[in-house]
Copies of this chain bind each other. A is one copy, B any other.
Amino acid sequence: MRTLNVAMIGGGFMGKAHSIAYAGMPMFFWPAPAIPYRKTVVDINDDMARTAAARYGFESYSSDWRSVIEDPTIDIIDIVTPNDSHADIAIAAAKAGKHIICEKPLARTAEESKRMWEAVREAGVKHMVAFNYRRTPAIALAKKYIEEGALGAILSFRGTYLQDWSADPNSPLSWRFRKAIAGSGALGDIGTHVIDIARYLVGEIAEVMATANTWIKERPVQAGGVDKLGTVKLGGEVKKEAVDVDDEISSLLRFENGAVGSLEATRNAWGRNNFITFEIHGEKGSVYFNYERRDELQVCFSSDPGDRRGFRTVYTGPAHPYGEALWPIPALGIGYTETKIIEAHDFIASIVNDTEVSPNFYDGYRIAVIADAMIESANTRQWVKTI
């Protein structure tokens, strides 16, 4: 069985998620397309990199990502750094002929994202952007129903991604609140997942009409580079700085195929933690999903007799997408880990089988185009075309 050597750039919580995915993938998908070997991990200094290697099970470590990219034994570059470094790393990795998986959003802007896509296209390497949620089995099941025609033509889509970890004005101003690093706020961080899901399930988005708001105008400056989500107690005198990204975005959507939709993304929704939901109405049925209860998909078929029609709560298991690889019965438990294991599998399979995988850098670029259009629309108060 082939082995692919992975170099992971970045050692935050996403590093954890990717590392367990590499470790677990062959355990779940067997025979595995290839064994991902955790070769090298890169962090911002040697101490942190050494710790990351020990913790995440990598053979070696480095604090110099450029030299790692030049390492000829490396097959895959895995980018789990903040958004502002994605483009530099990915373009260098593409030039070095590495396959690349990059955390989302692909970059800070459509322009950056386009350059990344062009780089991988020219290099002929495999590329994926890690919008992992669409690999939740229940979302993949919605896709299956739609492709089977069980819902008929899609009429409308409503997607949300609501969180509350930064609803407190005292939660720190991490890099996620700095435009120079993050590109945008709730939109890029979480709204882009909804855009990914909308494109995956309904189709290409043709135009958008959005509003954007920054509810909390300034936040306490966070010392150090650690990306702690949520409230962190900051001692002594607290300095505050202005937030220059959106806390909330709300948008109408028009799809190329005539369906309509809406998107809502906010980190100011008290009580919502990771509330990724969508509801899709088709001519022949509907689906509803809520990631907080991610083992289940709700689906209603108009063809059911009137005295027994209603949303079915389907718990995903062996009879559903990815089911054979996961657990032997439904509701044994899909967690974040499982979504990342599936993602790792599909990426590595695309390398071994020389096939395309979605969402790839082109999708990441398209998502950035749509996200940028939402910001433009919020500023101009006009519909903005995205194709």
Q: How far is the CB of A217 from chain B (nearest CB, A)?
A: 12
Contacting residues, chain B, for A27 (C-beta < 8 A): 16, 19-20, 23, 55-57
Would you call B300 and A308 a contact (CB within 8 A)?
no
Listed by A's residue number, 28 A-B pairs whose Cβ atoms lie within 8 Å are A20-B28, A26-B57, A150-B308, A156-B213, A156-B269, A211-B260, A250-B252, A250-B262, A251-B252, A266-B281, A268-B281, A268-B283, A270-B285, A270-B300, A270-B301, A271-B298, A273-B315, A273-B330, A274-B333, A275-B331, A294-B333, A298-B313, A307-B314, A310-B312, A333-B337, A333-B338, A335-B337, A381-B382
Contact mask A263-297 → B, CB, 8 Å, 1/0? 01010111111110001011111101001111110
Q: Cβ of A178 < 8 Å from any Cβ of B?
A: no
Q: Describe A's contact surface by its main secondary structure.
A: mixed
Would you call B286 and A272 a contact (CB within 8 A)?
yes
Would you call A307 and B319 a contact (CB within 8 A)?
yes
Given A24-B24, A291-B333, 20 more A-B residue pairs with CB atoms under 8 Å apart are: A23-B24, A26-B54, A27-B55, A155-B268, A156-B213, A211-B254, A213-B260, A230-B328, A250-B261, A262-B264, A268-B281, A271-B310, A272-B286, A273-B317, A275-B331, A293-B295, A333-B335, A333-B336, A333-B337, A333-B339
Q: Cβ of A101 < 8 Å from any Cβ of B?
A: no
Q: Cβ of A304 < 8 Å from any Cβ of B?
A: yes
CB-CB nearest 7 A-B residue pairs: A335-B335, A271-B300, A333-B336, A274-B331, A23-B23, A273-B331, A310-B314
Binds B, one of A79-87, A102-110, A161-169: A161-169
Q: Cβ of A200 < 8 Å from any Cβ of B?
A: no
Contacting residues, chain B, for A168 (C-beta < 8 A): 302
Residue of B20, B209, B270 near A20 (CB, 8 A) is B20
Give residues of chain A (23-42) contacting chain B, Cβ–Cβ below 8 Å: 23-24, 26-28, 30, 32
Residue of B262, B292, B309, B339 near A331 (CB, 8 A) is B292
Would you call B215 and A155 a contact (CB within 8 A)?
yes
